[in-house]
Amino acid sequence: MQPIEVKENIYWVGAIDWNVRDFHGYQTPKGTTYNSFLVLDEKVTLFDCVKKPFKSNLLANIRKLIDPAKIDYIVVNHVEMDHSGALPEIMEFIGPEKVICSPMGKKVLIDHFHREDWPFEVVESGKTLSLGKKTVQFLETRMLHWPDSMFSYLVEDEMLISSDAFGQHWATSERFDDEVDLEELLSQSAKYYANILLLYSPLVQKLLAGVRKSGLRINMIAPDHGLIWRSHPGRILEAYDTWSQQKTKKKALLIYDTMWQSTEAMANAIADGLNQEGVDFKMLNLKHNHRSDVMTEVLDSKAIILGSSTLNNGILPGMADILCYMKGLKPTGKIGAAFGSYGWSGESVKILNEAMEGMKIQVVDEGIRVKFAPTQQDLDRCIQLGRKIGKLVKENGH
């Protein structure tokens, strides 16, 4: 990729990773990008770095604009290795006057790279720094999504370099929101929010309120992953407001794993009940749906209906996986119920109910257990459970 001028004298110089398929458990079938931005001013400044294997791509892009040794400042908005993995080698190559980061950024950089000798300049939230014609204002965003995270706001350009926030894991030859399908972009952004930021939703709400209160004018949002919001920054701010309030639709999810299709037959009967109530629902068999896609559906669903056969006094491994993942991401405002077949011990429904209670999902039914294979009477009970959940979804969803 060539460098691309995103604003006057501000260039995208990052890297496209077409092949990455996993971010700590988040499946990324469309790859991602590591966005870096170079500002050509009296103080030449590089905002964010790239993952270690992409060091040469970054340097090649910079070289097309300027000798990298002329870079004065490197701003590290976030230390995670997809943005600073290449930093030690870049530091050797460039030898900048300053490495600018948040107070926690300095600590976390030293914890990673053990280089206390780097020329750190720690910036508190709200501090401004002149680069010449352009001014940067730093905004600490602790725990969005690491303790070191911050944004950099280019004042004259009204451009927010937002680190991980507002991003997407989507490798494209295009760089701007108006060059791709907007609905697909919002869908990729929702997946990213559900899998990375959902648990920090209360902090996102505070951040958005702070931005509104400060009257900060934003006409471009440049995240460190994916497309730059040039034409529709308001759409992603609005979407983050909705997602961080965890507003749900009148929608139910049937998430299940099945051993010999008895639990699946129950799932189909519950789906019939939901259908009879006319609510939107999705069936997610965990043998065919990755946890990160399941979480994307959880984001705007009111009801979570979990099904698992009993295996060795427990639940099936696919279900254990999604429960572990979902628990960490802390979805709120959901109702739930459980179902599953068993042969002799039958613990799965109890385990699923306890897991939902542990996640503060309101369990609205004791659940349905079926020995070996469901009878028509059992399936009728499942239909009734689907209808019960469907009615509650209609009453409580948005």
The interface region with ligand FEO, picked from 64-72, 77-85, 186-194, 254-262 by CB under 6 A, is 77-85
Whichever of 103 and 333 has its CB closer to ligand FEO, that residue is: 103
24 is an active site residue: yes
Is position 5 annotated as part of the catalytic site?
A: no
Q: Which residues ranging from 163 to 182 are in contact with ligand FEO (CB under 6 A)?
A: 164
| 48 is a catalytic site residue | no
Residue 225 to residue 227: CA distance in whole angstroms? 7
Residue 300 near ligand FEO by CB under 6 A: no
> What single-letter amino acid sits at 72?
D
Contacts of 225 (CB under 8 A, 6+ apart): 32, 33, 34, 35, 82, 164, 167, 168, 169, 170, 192
Decide if 288 is catalytic. Answer: no
Q: Return the exposure string of 304-331: e unless at least 16 CB atoms fall within 10 Å of the residue's CB, then b.
A: bbbbbbbbeeebbebbbbbbebbeebeb
- Centre a 10 Å sphere on the Cβ of residue 376 and count the other Cβ atoms it contains: 8
CB-nearest residue to ligand FEO: 80
Taking residues 88 to 127 in sequence order and writing x for each that binds ligand FEO by CB under 6 A, - otherwise, the string is ----------------------------------------
Residue-wise DSSP of 127-184: -EEE-SS-EEEEEE-TTSSSTT-EEEEETTTTEEE-TTTT------S--BGGGS-HHH
User: Which one of the listed residues 41, 48, 164, 177 is annotated catalytic?
Assistant: 164
Question: 22 catalytic, yes or no?
Answer: no
The single residue of 82, 157, 177, 347 carrying the catalytic annotation is: 82
Q: Which of 34, 41, 78, 378 is catalytic?
A: 78
- Region near ligand FEO per CB under 6 A, out of 74-82, 85-93, 250-258, 316-324: 74-82
**Least distance from C-beta 208 to ligand FEO, angstroms?**
19
Is residue 259 within 8 Å of 316, Cβ to Cβ? yes
Contact range with ligand FEO by CB under 6 A, out of 80-88, 229-237, 241-249, 274-282: 80-88
Residues sharing a CB contact under 8 Å with residue 382, sequence separation 6 or more, in sequence order: 266, 269, 270, 272, 273, 339, 368, 374
> What CA–CA distance (Å, rounded) separates 4 from 8?
10
Residue selected from 7, 83, 232, 302 as contacting ligand FEO according to rule CB under 6 A: 83
Q: Tell me whether residue 124 is one of the annotated catalytic residues.
A: no
CB of 81 to ligand FEO, least distance (A): 8
**Inter-residue contact 133 to 42 (CB < 8 Å):** yes
**Distance of alpha carbon 274 from its chain centroid, rounded?**
29
Give the count of residues interacting with ligand FEO (CB under 6 A): 9
Site for ligand FEO in 334-393 (CB under 6 A): none
The kind and range of the H/E element at 62 are helix 55-63
Q: Is 157 in the site for ligand FEO (CB under 6 A)?
A: no
Phi and psi at 18, nearest 5°, equal -75, -20
Exactly one of 140, 148, 224, 225 is catalytic; name it. Answer: 225
Paired strand residues for 362: 335
String marking each residue 203-232 x if it binds ligand FEO according to CB under 6 A = ---------------------xx-------
Which of 17, 41, 48, 82 touches ligand FEO by CB under 6 A? 82
Choose between 195 and 301: whose C-beta lies nearer to ligand FEO: 195
Sheet hosting strand 120-122, strand order edge to edge: 4-7, 10-12, 37-39, 45-47, 73-75, 98-101, 120-122
- Residues identified as active-site: 24, 78, 80, 82, 145, 164, 192, 225
Site residues, ligand FEO (CB under 6 A):
78, 80, 82-83, 145-146, 164, 224-225
